[in-house]
Amino acid sequence: MALPPHVRDDWARTVSSGIIATLKPICRPPSPRKLNPMKLRVGLIGLGSSWQKRHAPVLRAMNDRIEVRGVCEQVSHRAEQAAAAFDARLYHSFRALIRAEDIDAVLMLAPQWYGPLPILAACDSGKAVYCAMALNIDLQSAYKLKKRVEKSGIAFMAELPKRHAPATLRLKELIATHLGNPRLIFCHQRLLVEEEQEHAEPPQGMPMFHMVELVDWCRFVVGNEPSTVTGVAHKAAGGGPYQTDYEMLSLQFAPIEGDGAMPVTAQLSCGHYLPTNWPEAIAFRPPSAMQVSCERGVAFIDFPSTVTWFDSAGRHRESLEADRPVGEQLLDHFFRAVTSLVRRQSDLNDAYRSMAIVLAGRESEAEGRRIELDG
């Protein structure tokens, strides 16, 4: 039996509406990507010339735990490339990046013109900070910054890769089991123009980052704090990126009470004294990153994973293969610090202490005297 026209029309409209309602979710524009609660959403502030070789591969390897959501970099073409590579937004203001609701933490990977200001902004917004650079500020400003971070309660991690390197950890084992307590430590690092030419601060003295890292490395190996520091510097004749092309610190470590250990002397130096148009000279016989003379032997560290050591039994060479690169281990520590309930502050204290020692060494060089360090 045929349906009346008005009934047939109502039925057709009902069926058509149901079909359209069913198809609507399929026809909607793509929705924004959903946030994964297991991922740490980060913004990058400053990339630097070593971005492609140093941090970019690590972030790609950790894309299951860390997601790059924003990039702020003063070199525009580098910022655009990084943002495109990680499908991230490009920011022209570090404050806007830090205030973004879909960013949990910031990674400060290279010095920029704004210095420590992003750290203060992160404290105001309650965002965690991973700092891979040393700040060109005086000790009083560093102390105020340290107190501001502690008061905010944010997770803060300073990138100090040398203490986490496989060779360093193996050296600590050898000191405890075979070599005995350290007596003399020598560290020297050559710098290349390509690594430092984009620093935003005026070219006064050697870059703070390298000296801070060397001081922290020695403090970690010795397991104690230095009691005095003496600084020496050589003024550049001109044509280099810094007014000082060589800086040396001599640290005296008092023996640990009741341990029976002898005092330890460490000499740390950082230099930019070979012209870049002498590439063969720069690569010729690079010194060991660290040489340690101990009670029962001596060890040579070639960063990051080779240890050559000698004792009464002769020569021993160990090539250590870590499960993951040092940079990946450091970011994994940061990921755990941010996602755990325990806030990590030890790196902040270590970085501040090492910076204070470097600045005391520069005061020693300027005044021509040895500086006593507070315990």
In a domain, residue 319? The reply is yes
In a domain, residue 7? The reply is no
> Mind spelling out the 3-state secondary structure of the chain?
CCCCHHHHHHHHHHHHHHHHHHHHHHHCCCCCCCCCCCCEEEEEECCCCCHHHHCHHHHHHCCCCEEEEEEECCCHHHHHHHHHHCCCEECCCHHHHHHCCCCCEEEECCCCCCCCHHHHHHHHHCCEEEECCCCCCCHHHHHHHHHHHHHHCCCEEECCHHHHCHHHHHHHHHHHHHHCCEEEEEEEEECCHHHHCCCCCCCCCCCHHHHHHHHHHHHHHHCCCEEEEEEEEEECCCCCCCCEEEEEEEEEECCCCCCCCCCEEEEEEEECCCCCCCHHHHHCCCCCCEEEEECCCEEEEECCCEEEEEECCEEEEEECCCCCCHHHHHHHHHHHHHHCCCCCCHHHHHHHHHHHHHHHHHHHHHHCCCEECCC
13 pLDDT above the threshold of 80: no
Do 355 and 318 lie in one domain? The reply is yes
- pLDDT, mean over the chain: 82
Do 126 and 204 lie in one domain? The reply is no
State how far the Cα of 223 lies from the Cα of 292, in Å rounded to an integer.
14
pLDDT one-digit tens code per residue, 321-374: 766 788 888 898 899 888 876 666 667 888 889 999 999 999 999 999 999 998
Tokens describing residue 50: 């070593």
Do 224 and 311 lie in one domain? The reply is yes
26 pLDDT above the threshold of 50: no
pLDDT of residue 42: 96
State how far the Cα of 41 lies from the Cα of 117, in Å rounded to an integer.
21
| Cα radius of gyration rounded to whole Å, the chain | 27
Higher pLDDT, 193 or 68: 68
For the chain, what percent of residues have pLDDT higher than 90?
50
pLDDT one-digit tens code per residue, 146-170: 999 999 989 999 888 898 888 999 9
In a domain, residue 30? The reply is no
For the whole prediction, is pTM greater than 0.85? Answer: no
Do 355 and 240 lie in one domain? The reply is yes
Do 119 and 172 lie in one domain? The reply is no
7 pLDDT above the threshold of 80: no
User: Where is the domain boundary, 133, 150, 180?
Assistant: 133
Omega into 304 within 30° of 0, i.e. cis? yes
Do 191 and 268 lie in one domain? The reply is yes
Identify the top-confidence range among 26-30, 124-128, 204-208, 260-264. 124-128
In a domain, residue 204? The reply is yes
pLDDT of residue 16: 47
Do 119 and 171 lie in one domain? The reply is no
Q: Residue 54, exposed/middle/buried by CB under 10 A (0-12, 13-18, 19+)?
A: middle
Rounded to an integer, the average pLDDT of 289-298 is 95
pLDDT of residue 277: 77
Do 86 and 197 lie in one domain? The reply is no
In a domain, residue 281? The reply is yes
Rounded to an integer, the average pLDDT of 176-194 is 86
CATH of the domain at 128: 3.40.50.720
Angle ∠(108,90,29) on CA atoms, nearest 5: 130
CATH of the domain at 312: 3.30.360.10
Q: Binning pLDDT at 50, 70 and 90, where does residue 133 land?
A: confident
User: Where is the domain boundary, 85, 118, 133?
Assistant: 133
* Structural domain boundaries enclosing 80: 40-133
260 pLDDT above the threshold of 80: no
Do 315 and 185 lie in one domain? The reply is yes
The side-by-side arrangement of strands in the sheet containing 66-72 is 89-90, 66-72, 40-45, 105-108, 128-131, 156-158
Higher pLDDT, 105 or 280: 105
State how far the Cα of 171 lies from the Cα of 288, in Å rounded to an integer.
14
Do 124 and 254 lie in one domain? The reply is no
User: Where is the domain boundary, 114, 133, 152?
Assistant: 133
In a domain, residue 16? The reply is no
Who's near 122: CB < 8 A, 6+ residues apart?
Answer: 98, 106, 128, 129, 154
In a domain, residue 335? The reply is no
Do 364 and 229 lie in one domain? The reply is yes
192 pLDDT above the threshold of 90: no
Q: Binning pLDDT at 50, 70 and 90, where does residue 284 land?
A: confident
Do 169 and 129 lie in one domain? The reply is no
Identify the top-confidence range among 80-89, 149-158, 208-217, 296-305. 80-89
Distances (CA, A) of 120 to 115, 131, 354: 10, 13, 21
* Overall number of domains in the chain: 2
In a domain, residue 127? The reply is yes
State how far the Cα of 28 lies from the Cα of 31, in Å rounded to an integer.
8
pLDDT of residue 11: 43
